[in-house]
A and B are shown apart, each in its own frame.
Chain A
């Protein structure tokens, strides 16, 4: 496997010398995410070649795997030991890799209670834009030596380095899980989700759409049963519950199937924010902290950014049929300055996925 790293280093060094941009990719399942970059003049770097689980001891709750490892392989290995990736990463395709999961930094339904992908990252091995082989963080839960560069890589869309190996924390799967639904209006649902989140209840996911609130209870059998009596609602039988959450996580639910003239926006905001007055259909997750919006592609993106900002958060143009740029929430000038400085330090030649995240990076 060292030979693969050597090859990567050679590619990066050559690119840095010639100032030719590289397009780092894994399974290409999240290629839609981020700014459209012109692929013609870039050299592809296939990050799936460096793959495989390096170290996994269930009692340790820590896995180290190479970035090219498929998420499906990883989750299968955890499943065998009754453990899981608690942030429930979306795959968006069978070829999804761990590297892509980290680089996009996306988390699924369990995120509001269990934490996000960045919360679980403990360490990385990576190549920066100079081809240097670097190790940050480690394989232990508590580590305050040096700046937290590992978590800086999460969601950076490969603009700061090529991920090689990632160590992260895993959690035991809950013994029992049940999903329920109830009819309720949007305002009341947002209020309910937030009130529940303020109590010691084993709720592991919430979703609201079409006047229906879905919620999942996870934990030991006795706790799940007791909570069920307390909260009420109608149970989703058999596999229905699991299938429902998968359809939300993977965006196979029909809400996410957008027509040619529609855009899908993701608004991450303060969870208690009242229903948003934006035109279009909405779906709510994370106790109200995540609002998905399907609206006309003609609609004003600036307005959506403003609404998200006023609600203490930010918006992303998540999916669109047209080639789009500037999909991520505009950064303030002071924050952008820091971003550019960091990019310059990690990738002085500006060759790693340029433009995919922000045009300046």
Chain B
């Protein structure tokens, strides 16, 4: 369909202000949080109602026009990168919290509602929505569903898939699918799990029922220094081995500690080879018991310094450095390259050693921050794109880290998603038979392949060349005001 015709047809469905096509109007939609990939769609639409979306989808289906859904656009893998021949469907205007049922502990929300807004609305009832991705002040719940977002607390409280009960989904033909229920399980295949993390490839979510859980009575944090990364890794295993599921467990290596301390001056131990943050939350007795146990384990594991937060102010200041790791990387190096591999925890020390070796081999520094509790690594390779060949070297380094993660029994992406960015690494992680099944699953929902085409699942003939999140001069993440950790 010609662009002019498409615009006219959309204008017949939507109010004039909901159809954007002027260059300056659609420019803000050219990328998501990963601005290394940019392209303009034919047109951007901002419908207000589900009925409008149905009409848009029917039009796109009839004219075989690709549709890319977009929430807040904070994603880090280019999942919401527009299609040059397609419609960019923003769900930002569907931003109402329809209702909260405090007794049943459910919230009924539209996809454009911000993650944090749900917890804020639930707070008067002593409840909150558990998954807390670092971008939670800006990211939308619809985007969280598309990416199966986690957060610092997901070892204990789960990912998005564990915290939603029901989805209202539109297929590309505009049919309504009611998936799940207000009940804890539902009839038929687990389509709720299939939809969660499907990166906008299977359907368009128009309403979500999320679970709310009680706010913990108390949270407390133990910060420990280690003179050896291996000892810190062992301490992580020992905490879990002692029967504790920490609310959060985060690790930083020496180069990260120095970078954030230089940046924030919060009193981190500069002699430490690694710092481990371990948080406990729950009822008062439980927290007291766990904190005592964690302190004991840290001592036995050879921690050189152990500090325990005495109040929430303390706790938040201990966290501040960890949460500032990404911006700190941007300060100590002109560029950094962020990976998102996940490995079994027991391989942590070994993979760290491997990264260190590669770091020497490539002559590039690498800051390591981890969601240690769940084995999710965010190595930040520091480099300078202005040095000829350094970007290529960095990409190769990154690719070898991901390869190592797969070999260690892990995955190429723990939480950032595949999107367009890690599409090649999918060929590394899965064989042709699995990829063919993924394509078949998509075809069961979207036989013409119009929803977010070209993302998440590579075609079989695509080569397995590696790529990763590329941050140039701190500009790649256009949501530079968002904390990333």
A interface residue numbers (CB < 8 A to B) = 57-62, 82, 105, 111-112, 115-116, 118-119, 128, 132-136, 138-149, 151-152, 154-156, 160, 171-173, 175, 191, 194-195, 197-202, 219-223, 225-227, 268-272, 286, 289-290, 311-314, 316, 328-329, 331-332, 334-335, 338-339, 341-342, 344-346, 357-358
Contact = CB atoms under 8 A, between A and B. Distances in A.
A105 B197 contact: no
B140 interface: no
A268 B184 contact: yes
14 contacts: A59-B238, A59-B240, A141-B342, A142-B376, A142-B415, A152-B193, A171-B245, A200-B216, A201-B214, A202-B283, A221-B289, A311-B182, A334-B177, A338-B445
Interface stretch (B28-36, B60-68, B251-259, B435-443): B435-443
Candidate in A128, A198, A268 with the most chain B CB atoms within 10 angstroms: A198
A311 B445 CA distance: 28
Contacts of B442: 147
A130 to B, nearest CB: 9
Contacts of A132: 433, 437
A173 B418 CA distance: 35
Contacts of A112: 184
Nearest to A140: B342
Contacts of B410: 138-140
B119 interface: no
B344 A139 contact: yes
Interface residues of B, number: 96
A15 B26 CA distance: 54
B198 to A, nearest CB: 6
A290 B414 CA distance: 33
Candidate in A134, A146, A272 with the most chain B CB atoms within 10 angstroms: A146
Given A149-B441, A198-B105, A220-B286, 6 more contacts: A140-B414, A144-B148, A144-B414, A198-B126, A200-B282, A222-B288
**Nearest 6 interchain pairs by C-beta:** A312-B182, A313-B183, A172-B243, A151-B193, A341-B444, A270-B182
Contacts of A268: 181, 183-186
Interface stretch (B157-165, B301-309, B464-472): B157-165
Interface string B181-204: 111111111110110111000100
Contact of A145 (B101, B411, B437): B411
B105 A197 contact: yes
Candidate in B155, B196, B285, B457 with the most chain A CB atoms within 10 angstroms: B285
A286 B214 CA distance: 16
Given A140-B343, A145-B426, A200 B240 contact: no
Contacts of A105: 185, 190
B33 to A, nearest CB: 15
Contacts of B430: 135, 145-146
Nearest to A266: B185
B190 A341 contact: no
B241 A59 contact: yes
Candidate in B191, B215, B238 with the most chain A CB atoms within 10 angstroms: B191
Given A147-B197, A314-B181, A172 B285 contact: no
A218 B415 CA distance: 31
B244 interface: yes
Contact of A286 (B177, B184, B194, B342): B184
Given A335-B177, A338-B444, A60 B184 contact: no
Interface string B110-154: 000000000000000111000000000000000000011010001
